[in-house]
Amino acid sequence: MANVSLYNMEGKEVGTIELSDAIFGVEVNQHLVHMAVVQQLANNRQGTQKAKTRSEVSGGGRKPWRQKGTGRARQGSTRSPQWTGGGVVFAPTPRDYSFKLNKKEKRAALKSALSDKLANGNLIVVDKIEMNEIKTKTFKTMLDNLKVVGKSLVVINDNDKKVVLSARNIFGCKMSQPGTINVYDILNAKTLVLTQDAVKTIEEVYA
C-alpha cells in the first residue's frame, strides 16, 4: 500500500490515503500501454476515405483511337490512370481500422498507466470537489492551489453538473469518471487529479 497526501480544494494537506498496490503499484507494461493507446486511436478513426478506380469513373467506354496506324501509343480508355480525369490505381476505399484488445490486457494497461502516474509524482488525491455554482474561476483557483500545470485529467465519482461545466472552458483540463477513464487520457495529461471517492470506486471496479 502506497501512502499519498490527501489535499482539499485550497491545496492544503488534510491527511493521507492508502492506494492499493494492485491498481497503483503494478509493474508498468509499456507494450500493453502502447497497444491500448494505438487501439483507442484506431477505433476513433472514421475510415471514410474514398477515391475512384478506373472502373468507377464515369465514361471511358469507347477506345480513344484505333489500335494501330496512328503513330500514337495504344490506348483502351480515357479513364486509365495515366490520363487526366482517369481513375486512381490502388484507390483507397472505406474501411474499419478498429481491432480488439482483450479485457485483461486493457485492465493491465490501465493499471500500468495509473501506476506510472503515481511513480512519477503526477497523481494528486483531493478529499472532494464541490461547487456551489457553475464558476470557472473557482475551479481554476483549485487547480492553481494544487499546483497543477499543463494538461490535467480530473476524475470525479459522480457526474456533478456544476463541477463539469465549471471545468469545461479551461484549456487542457479534461473531466472524467471512474467508469470512463482510459489509458490515452491518463497518458495525455501531465497531472492526474482524483477525488477520494473516485479512488475507492477505481479500486473496487478494477481490482
Handedness of CA 85, 53, 47, 29 (dihedral sign): negative
Give 2-45+101-206's CATH code, choosing from 3.40.50.170, 3.40.1370.10, 3.30.420.40, 3.40.718.10.
3.40.1370.10
- Residue-wise pLDDT for 125-144, tens only, equals 999 999 999 999 999 999 99
Every domain of the chain with CATH number 3.40.1370.10 lies at: 2-45+101-206
pTM to 2 decimal places: 0.85
- Residue-wise pLDDT for 157-179, tens only, equals 998 999 999 999 999 999 999 99
Q: Are 115 and 28 in contact (CB under 8 A)?
A: yes
